[in-house]
Amino acid sequence: MKNSIHNICCIGAGYVGGPTMAVIADRCPHIEVNVVDINQDRINLWNSLDLNELPIFEPGLDKIIERRRNKNLFFSNDIKKQISRADMIFISVNTPTKTKGIGAGKASNLKWIEASARQVALYAKGHTIVVEKSTLPVRTAEVIKEILKSKQNSKEKHPKTSTFDVLSNPEFLSEGSAIYDLENPDRVLIGGENNSAIEKLAEIYRNWVSEEKLLQTNIWSSELAKLTANAFLAQRISSINSIGALCEATGADVREVSKAIGHDSRIGSKFLDAGPGFGGSCFKKDILNLVYLSEYFGLPEVAAFWNSVVNLNAWHQNRISKLITKNLFGTLSNKKIVVLGFAFKSNTNDTRESAAIQICKNLIEEGAALLIHDPKVSCDQIAIDLNLQPYSKKNKESNFSERNEEGNWDSIDSLENAFDGADAVLILTEWMEYKKINWRVTSNKMRKPAWLFDARSIIDPNQVLNTDINFWRIGDGVKL
Ligand code: UDX
Ligand code: UDX
């Protein structure tokens, strides 16, 4: 097609930008894709010869990188050059919740979006289509347009030589299945005003996405649809977790309730698994964004409704740590708890907003000695998240059992010997390997009375039935 896109630049080589651009490069070998980032270390990892060192773990990502890297997919810090060469620029930088100033704790911090737009305004040449890939508050496109327009009007070197269109094309990928989701999207949403720009972006997706999945809306609907999708998904999890608590109190079983309601085609069966509470970089941030927008536009009841989804999630995490403490006789001092899983879900190394962070902090606060295992999360990352160094780093002797009564933690790479003398095991991430643990053998290694707390509902109760382990699982009020 005439005037098709030949050169794409993506600003931000993170969880969204990296995998998304890898799939575009894979499906569109005729397009050159340049992913740029201000973080030199991250770019070095993307260029690492050892594919195990890629900064992001996603099943299938390494194979695509192997196929396309340095053919039509490039990672660099050369932001200026790649912006100037691009026909289309995706902005995929992070937008964390503001920690201070107006909207602190709720609104998104758009400083990196603004910085990216300013760089585009400065270096882009000819006509450039700017695509919002990051999840953004509604009407952010207006900000980007304003910044780009200021370049067009400016008295700088080459005024009016560059022109822009702005589109919104939110990403719905889910971590852990990012490559599958990108290759088989339920829909691709493109919001914009200029049909020719929309058509050029649609043309890229048509290389692997069928026509009926390409949805076109106005730009504000597209921005709001992304926030709404995440809010609805998170709301389902808070809903089922609230019912789980009720199940535990009444003798019902949340799995049975989920199954029963999920068979109603109007409700559907997905996102009805009770767990330790939702995590991930998006759900909380996006709901707080909705809360802020609602307050800003004078809709306090709408704000309160969505805020309750986040509040329930926080309450639920604290509820889990409290019930563990209660079952271990009200004190965790000198008690060893093996924590299985720290990532916010399986198949990812991402710990952002993971329920494990708050739950582990609470248990440490109660004096527990945690032995944390996760197949993909590093000890250093856990230390950052808990804001506490592991016991073995703080103390010369690494004998975990000889620690004093203060709560502390260590991490382990292997489960061999992990359960020796443990008072409890707590499952927080649904990694496959935890399903294979032999509880009969494990039971013999633990101190009695021993507990297994399964916050992910991945253990078949029959496997624990004839052991000495007391078994608790999320949302289970049925006495086993
Ligand atoms: C995501 C999405 O883009 C956003 O929609 C979602 O709401 C949460 O964050 P993600 O890819 O998960 O971003 O973030 P991250 O992994 O932190 O990657 C962002 C990258 O942008 C980082 O590597 C950072 O160095 C880079 N960046 C940031 C720039 O290159 N330039 C900047 O000005 C700011
Ligand atoms: C989410 C959205 O699904 C995705 O469309 C959007 O682009 C980014 O945010 P992600 O955060 O990667 O994706 O993971 P998701 O699978 O949605 O899970 C989020 C959290 O909810 C995880 O902590 C997960 O364990 C939890 N969850 C999910 C449940 O507790 N129960 C469920 O039934 C489903």
3-state secondary structure of 387: coil
Closest atom, ligand 2, to C-alpha of 348: 12
Lowest mean pLDDT among 152-166, 261-275, 329-343: 152-166
Rounded to an integer, the average pLDDT of 416-444 is: 97
Strand order in the sheet with 408-412: 408-412, 369-373, 336-340, 424-427, 450-454, 469-473
Ligand 1: residue whose CA is nearest its atom 7:
135
Closest listed ligand to the CA of 172? 2
Q: Which residues are catalytic?
A: 282
User: Considering the chain, what percentage of its residues have pLDDT values greater than 90?
Assistant: 86
Position 397 scores a pLDDT of 55
Local confidence band at 473 (pLDDT 50, 70, 90 cut-offs) = very high
19 touches 173 (CB < 8 A): yes
Closest atom, ligand 1, to C-alpha of 352: 12
Substitution candidate for ligand 2 out of 180, 269, 282 with most atoms within 8 A of CB: 282
Local confidence band at 353 (pLDDT 50, 70, 90 cut-offs) = very high
Ligand 1: residue whose CA is nearest its atom 13:
94
- DSSP assignment of 125-158, as one string? -SEEEEEE-S---TTHHHHHHHHHHHHHHS-SSS
Say how many Å lie between the CA of residue 457 and the centre of ligand 2: 16
Average pLDDT along the chain: 94
Position 437 scores a pLDDT of 97
Rounded to an integer, the average pLDDT of 20-44 is: 98
| Cα(183)–Cα(163) distance, integer angstroms | 31
80 touches 119 (CB < 8 A): yes
Is the pLDDT assigned to residue 422 strictly greater than 60? yes
Position 140 scores a pLDDT of 85
Helix extents (H) in 216-299: 219-250, 254-262, 283-296
242 touches 234 (CB < 8 A): no
Ligand 2: residue whose CA is nearest its atom 31:
273
353: left (phi over 0), alpha (psi -120 to 50) or beta: left
Query: 171 exposed, middle or buried (CB, 10 Å; 0-12, 13-18, 19+)?
Result: buried
Closest atom, ligand 1, to C-alpha of 170: 5
Lowest mean pLDDT among 148-157, 237-246, 434-443: 148-157
Closest listed ligand to the CA of 182? 2
Is the pLDDT assigned to residue 38 strictly greater than 50? yes
Helix and strand tally (H, E) in the chain? 18, 14
Position 157 scores a pLDDT of 55
Chain segment 139-168, per-residue pLDDT in tens? 888 889 999 988 665 555 555 578 999 999
Closest listed ligand to the CA of 455? 2
From the CB of 282, is ligand 1 less than 6 Å away? yes
Substitution candidate for ligand 1 out of 36, 42, 56, 93 with most atoms within 8 A of CB: 93
Closest atom, ligand 2, to C-alpha of 275: 30
Query: Which helix H or strand E contains 360, and what residues bound it?
Result: helix 355-365
Ligand 1: residue whose CA is nearest its atom 25:
39
Rounded to an integer, the average pLDDT of 440-463 is: 97
List of residues 6+ apart from 409 with CB closer than 8 A: 360, 364, 369, 370, 371, 372, 382, 386, 388, 390, 391
Position 345 scores a pLDDT of 96
Substitution candidate for ligand 1 out of 94, 169, 281 with most atoms within 8 A of CB: 94
pTM, whole model, 2 decimals? 0.92
From the CB of 37, is ligand 1 less than 6 Å away? yes
Say how many Å lie between the CA of residue 133 and the centre of ligand 1: 10
Tokens of 381: 């990352």
Ligand 1: residue whose CA is nearest its atom 33:
112
Local confidence band at 476 (pLDDT 50, 70, 90 cut-offs) = very high
List of residues 6+ apart from 106 with CB closer than 8 A: 97, 98, 288, 289, 291, 292, 295
Chain segment 289-298, per-residue pLDDT in tens? 999 999 999 9
Phi, psi (degrees; rounded to nearest 5) at 165: -125, 145
- Number of Cβ within a 10 Å radius of residue 399: 9
- Number of Cβ within a 10 Å radius of residue 217: 16
281 touches 176 (CB < 8 A): no
Position 479 scores a pLDDT of 66
3-state secondary structure of 235: helix
Chain segment 383-409, per-residue pLDDT in tens? 999 999 999 877 765 566 555 578 999
46 touches 127 (CB < 8 A): no
- DSSP assignment of 305-356, as one string? HHHHHHHHHHHHHHHHHHHHHHHTTT--TT-EEEEE--SSSTT----TT-HH
Position 155 scores a pLDDT of 55
Pairing of the two strands 88-91 and 73-76: unpaired
| Residue-level length of the chain | 480
Chain segment 186-220, per-residue pLDDT in tens? 999 999 999 999 999 999 999 999 999 999 999 99
Position 393 scores a pLDDT of 78
Local confidence band at 1 (pLDDT 50, 70, 90 cut-offs) = very low
Tokens of 413: 């790479």
278 touches 455 (CB < 8 A): no
Ligand 1: residue whose CA is nearest its atom 16:
14
Position 305 scores a pLDDT of 98
Is the pLDDT assigned to residue 170 strictly greater than 80? yes
From the CB of 116, is ligand 1 less than 6 Å away? yes
User: Considering the chain, what percentage of its residues have pLDDT values greater than 70?
Assistant: 95
From the CB of 12, is ligand 1 less than 6 Å away? yes
